[in-house]
Amino acid sequence: MFPSTFLKILELLAVACAILGVWMVVIVVKVATQTYIIPKKKPKRKQPRKEKEPMSKEAKEGVTFNDIFMFMIAVPLVLLWVGFAGFVIHTGLNNSAVLENIEAYTTLIAILGGPALLIIKDALDVWKQEQAEKTAFYKVKAQSVIDYNDAVLKQAQEIESKAQEQEHKMEIKK
pLDDT, tens digit (0-9, with 9 covering 90-100), for 37-74: 555 555 566 665 555 555 555 555 567 676 677 777 77
pLDDT, tens digit (0-9, with 9 covering 90-100), for 8-31: 777 777 777 677 767 776 776 676
Between residues 153 and 92, which one has the greater pLDDT? 153
pLDDT for the residue 11: 73
pLDDT at residue 133 is higher than 80 = yes
Q: Measure Cα distances from 158 to 145, 148, 152, 154 in Å.
A: 20, 15, 10, 6
CA angle 35, 37, 43 (to 5 degrees): 65
Q: Where are the alpha helices (DSSP H) in 35-174?
A: 57-61, 65-69, 75-94, 96-100, 102-173
Cβ-based burial of 143 (10 A; exposed 0-12, middle 13-18, buried ≥19) = exposed
CA angle 14, 15, 20 (to 5 degrees): 95
pTM assigned to the model: 0.46
CA atoms within 13 A of residue 142's CA, in its CB half-sphere: 6
